[in-house]
Chain A
Amino acid sequence: MVLVKIAWRNVWRNKLRSSVVMISVILGIWSGLFIMAMTLGLNEQRMSGAIDTYLSHLQIHHPKFEEDYNKNDTIVNRYELNKQLDTITRIKAYSERLVINGMAATSKGSYGVKILGIFPSQEKEVTKISQKLIAGTYLNKLKRNPMLIGAKLAHKLGVKEHAKVVLNFQDMDNNTIAVSFRVEGIFKSASSVFDQGTIFVKYQDLAQLTGLNGGIHEIAILCHKIDDTEMVKQKINTPNKIDTWAQIAPELGYAQQTMSSFIYIFMGIVLLALAFGIINTMLMAILERKHELGMLLSVGMNKRKVFVMIVLETIFLVLIAAPIGILLSYWSIYYFGIHGIDLASISQGLESLGIGSRVYTYLPLNMYFTITFMTLVVAVFSAIFPARRALKLKPAEAVKAN
């Protein structure tokens, strides 16, 4: 069709103007997709950070345990439950824990902490603290009362490897006891809040000191895939209470929602700017071609065809630019998905959010389609306005020599 030919050649007629439109489309798509990938990456990291350091996918507690953290609310039918968990193939690993609230003290000060009594070989399979040690080892060297402590807390207490820390907590009869533990390892997870408030000790040590031998407060379960969480929950049959990660930490889900509405607002602004850019440049193009368009109307090209010709020109501009924008986005999201973006300057803020100082961009494929589609729709709509303007030209006026 000759209209296609004219529209296509018109794209290349004023190279500067066309590049302005194309560059704005490219930047629109690129910035939109990249910001989105960054936000999703942040969220994903926050979520997996939480899951990897303490949350895991599912947690089982005594039905009343979470009400007031009573030490005596230990899991019912522990061994029967173990057997069940061992048979569910979608479970990758689980870890049994004692959870005791207490205080950690040195001469530098004392701070409230959550003391987790763990079986290191189990815990290793469920959370990644064992990989996050910045000093020492993972409860396998020291004989007497070893402990793992977060970097932040270690700093506050002024302790290094092998230093002594006094832990205060209550035993099963509510007698407060003070025992000294020795720092075997120091960990640094993505979350500074976690690092400041959590201490790991061996199950046997804690069980003996509290008199809770054989009892456990918490089972943390890691599935092979996060999507299996709900299914595994349904499979477990127990009088104890089972919660998914989303139930335990609903704020992770809220953050996701807040971020996606932020993304849409941002995209809206980008697309609005894009629309104005397109309208403006196409209007300029039409004014510049006033005589030519008037001539076309005069010699018998109908208005529908003039309209289509102008809209086609805009669509071509966008069709050239969109793939470039998408490729740039894909490449940069892929690159920063592997290498991460160093956000050292704001990393303290990020660490308190549990994210770490690098952001790894991540964008699911369907988002590429959504954004590209939105851009195309906006481009076509912005082409309509200038095209309608062209239809208002009066042939007798437009063909006037000057």
Chain B
Amino acid sequence: MMKVIQTQELYKIYNQGQENEVRAVNKVSLEISKGEFTAIVGPSGSGKTTLLNIIGGLDAPTSGKVIIDQTPIEELKENDLINFRLHSIGFVFQSYNLIPVLNARENVGFIMLLQGMAEDEINKRVTDLLKSVGLENQMEKRPTQMSGGQQQRVAVARALASKPKFILADEPTANLDSKSTGDLLDIMEHLNKTEGTTFVFSTHDQRVIDRAHRIITLEDGKIIDDVKVN
């Protein structure tokens, strides 16, 4: 299977050499293949966010390598890295995913405009994407007019819009009730099955963990467990 994400001996050490040194990511080497549906789990402070940020090129590791689909991202200059994120990675954050002054349609289309896609192609794709997350009736609503679950679904549609190699989601359900959490996971799983979209998401919600196909468990920045289910 093709590797989309590869990390080699990643470290992220805060306050290195000082008394309060923290190894937020401690020698993490992992490989994630195309089409996987992976959960990163672990207690609070175990390094989930730090690891996802490094994989997504939002944060630099203290040492080690991240290779995304054959590109070693530490070699990219700042602007190239931003551009790389635009074209290769879809992001879903816990909150503040959307631009408040744009409606759902515009928020999803925005990414494609940044990519320089043509207007009518964007319009068609936006409609398809919002349909695929079940929001065909909410397309003209602004984020403040939508529920938290709906906002996260727009965020997933937005993350998909750029046709990324994979989607990174740091605790995407942390602010959602259990119904919305279930709906969002249904959508993500469906996209994974039908489109082969690769998802890597962190969580400490057991109901979410139960839905993952691969579970990587972190503790104090180290991988202590990595299992494939079903």
Partner of A300, one of B86, B93, B101, B102: B86
Q: A292-B100, A396-B58 are in contact. Are A300 and B53 (CB under 8 A)?
A: no
26 pairs from A and B in contact (CB 8 Å cutoff): A2-B109, A2-B113, A5-B106, A9-B101, A13-B100, A294-B96, A298-B91, A298-B93, A299-B85, A300-B82, A300-B85, A300-B86, A300-B87, A302-B79, A302-B83, A302-B86, A303-B78, A303-B82, A394-B59, A395-B58, A396-B53, A396-B59, A399-B96, A401-B94, A401-B95, A401-B96
Size category of the binding interface on chain B? 20 to 34
Q: Are A13 and B87 in contact (CB under 8 A)?
A: no
B30: CB under 8 A from chain A?
no
Partner of B101, one of A13, A295, A401: A13
Q: How far is the CA of A301 from the CA of B49 in the complex (A)?
A: 21
- Chain B residues with CB below 8 A from A389, complex form: none
B76: CB under 8 A from chain A?
no
Q: How far is the CA of A125 from the CA of B95 in the complex (A)?
A: 82
Q: Are A303 and B100 in contact (CB under 8 A)?
A: no
Q: Are A399 and B82 in contact (CB under 8 A)?
A: no
- Chain B residues with CB below 8 A from A10, complex form: 101
A296: CB under 8 A from chain B?
yes
B151: CB under 8 A from chain A?
no
Q: How far is the CA of A2 from the CA of B99 in the complex (A)?
A: 12
Interface of A is mostly: helix
B162: CB under 8 A from chain A?
yes
B114: CB under 8 A from chain A?
yes
A6: CB under 8 A from chain B?
yes
A219: CB under 8 A from chain B?
no
A297: CB under 8 A from chain B?
yes
Q: How far is the CA of A5 from the CA of B174 in the complex (A)?
A: 31
> A281-302, CB under 8 A of B: which get 1 and which 0?
0000000000110111111111
A92: CB under 8 A from chain B?
no
Q: Smallest CB-CB separation from B50: which chain A residue?
A: A396
Q: How far is the CA of A13 from the CA of B100 in the complex (A)?
A: 9
B216: CB under 8 A from chain A?
no
- Chain B residues with CB below 8 A from A339, complex form: none
A155: CB under 8 A from chain B?
no
Nearest Cβ in chain B — how far from A249, in angstroms? 61
